[in-house]
Chains A and B, each alone.
Chain A
Amino acid sequence: MKMIKSLFILFFINIAGNVISLFTGRVLPGSVIAILLLFLLLSFRIIKPEKIETTAYFLVSSLPLFLIPSAVGIMECTSLDIREIVTIILIVVFTTILTMAVTAYVTELLINLAGENRDE
């Protein structure tokens, strides 16, 4: 029963996220609104972490399984030509390097400016 209850809570929050997304012009995806909703519900102690933790961690750890069918969808993208694929890969590789370097620099700079201990 505990599992059903926590599963219901997470399904319901997901639906609530989708509804809010729909009524706010679909700017944010429902799943992201759902994360924010659950975060708020936990912060205000409306939902106790212990109530959902077993199911929540089970779902989070199984995420790779849930994502497999979406990844299989790549076989439907036969319209992509090799030039587009190479372009995407080059963009992805370059922007990943840039993003990592910028994030590292900015965070380190702020740590130094704030006088925080770097080793912690």
Chain B
Amino acid sequence: MNNIIRSPLFSISVTMLLYIISMHFYSRKKNPFFNPILLSPLLLILILYLTGLDYSDYMKGGSVISLFIGPATAALALPLYRNIRILNRKRVIILLCGIFAGSVTAVVSVLVLSKITGLSGVLTRSILSKSVTVPIAVGITGNAGGLVSVTVAAVLVTGITGSFLAPFIIKLTRVKAPLSKGTAIGTSAHIIGTVKAFEMGEKEGSISSLSIGIAGIFTAFIVPAALLFL
């Protein structure tokens, strides 16, 4: 029995099952706290505690699942390629500039606040990429020498914060264009915020999804530069 629980097949199956269960809750409630990428790991950690399985045992199967992050991230190019063709050239340039400004703001403000609060170097490296979508953030943190799991947690807190506060911030900034709202939400709160952007409108939502990938690519360039000041 012990061998079965410790086999990769078991941990892969449990992960898939928890994903299916949390997806079920999430599609009904649409509450960011039920997001499968938040709920499933929490349930999994609970299960690992209860069964006495080590993280290293779990990762024999877990690493097989993680293997697909790479190809799936590469595949993000396809929706990016499709969505960007809808906009005219002038709008693409505006969008790129807006996202670039936002991505620089995100990285620099994290760097400055980390310095002020005296956060350790390794933790700062872990949260510099926290505004972008998890698969890209994980890659950036890996290169920067941070802790990947801290990145995942920080990215999730970012998304949930952005999702809750987006309506208020958009109202406070008094921006009117769907393009502005979409870039703002996608750049600052990736996919979790994008769900909120779609509630504001179809245009806001599709611009927001487009911004996620672009912000990720920009941030991959900005973080190595920011590391020079760490």
- Give A contacts to B, CB under 8 Å: 7, 10-11, 13-14, 17-18, 21, 26-32, 34-39, 42-43, 49, 52-53, 55-57, 59-60, 62-77, 80, 84, 87-108, 110-111, 114, 116, 118-120
Contact = CB atoms under 8 A, between A and B. Distances in A.
B94 to A, nearest CB: 4
- Which label, helix, strand, loop or mixed, suits the secondary structure of the B interface? helix
B44 A68 contact: yes
- For the complex of A and B, 3 pairs with smallest distance between CB atoms: A29-B139, A103-B102, A69-B62
B210 interface: no
Contacts, number: 327
B123 to A, nearest CB: 6
Given A13-B74, A77-B150, A96 B188 contact: yes
A95 B109 contact: yes
23 contacts: A17-B74, A29-B139, A29-B220, A31-B74, A35-B217, A36-B217, A39-B81, A57-B79, A64-B36, A68-B36, A71-B149, A72-B41, A84-B119, A88-B123, A95-B106, A96-B131, A99-B188, A100-B102, A103-B180, A103-B188, A108-B175, A119-B176, A120-B178
B206 interface: no
Interface residues of B, number: 105
A62 B23 CA distance: 11
Interface in B125-147: 127, 130-131, 134-136, 138-140, 142-143, 147
A114 to B, nearest CB: 6
Given A35-B73, A35-B80, A75-B55, 13 more contacts: A11-B71, A17-B74, A32-B136, A49-B81, A67-B69, A70-B66, A100-B165, A101-B172, A103-B101, A104-B169, A108-B176, A116-B177, A118-B179
Contacts of A13: 71, 74
Nearest to A102: B105
Nearest to B26: A64
B29 interface: no
B184 A103 contact: yes
Contact of A92 (B58, B97, B154, B178): B154
A65 B82 CA distance: 24
A79 B179 CA distance: 42
Contacts of B91: 116
Given A11-B71, A103-B187, A103-B188, A92 B158 contact: yes
B217 A70 contact: no
B99 A73 contact: no
A115 to B, nearest CB: 9
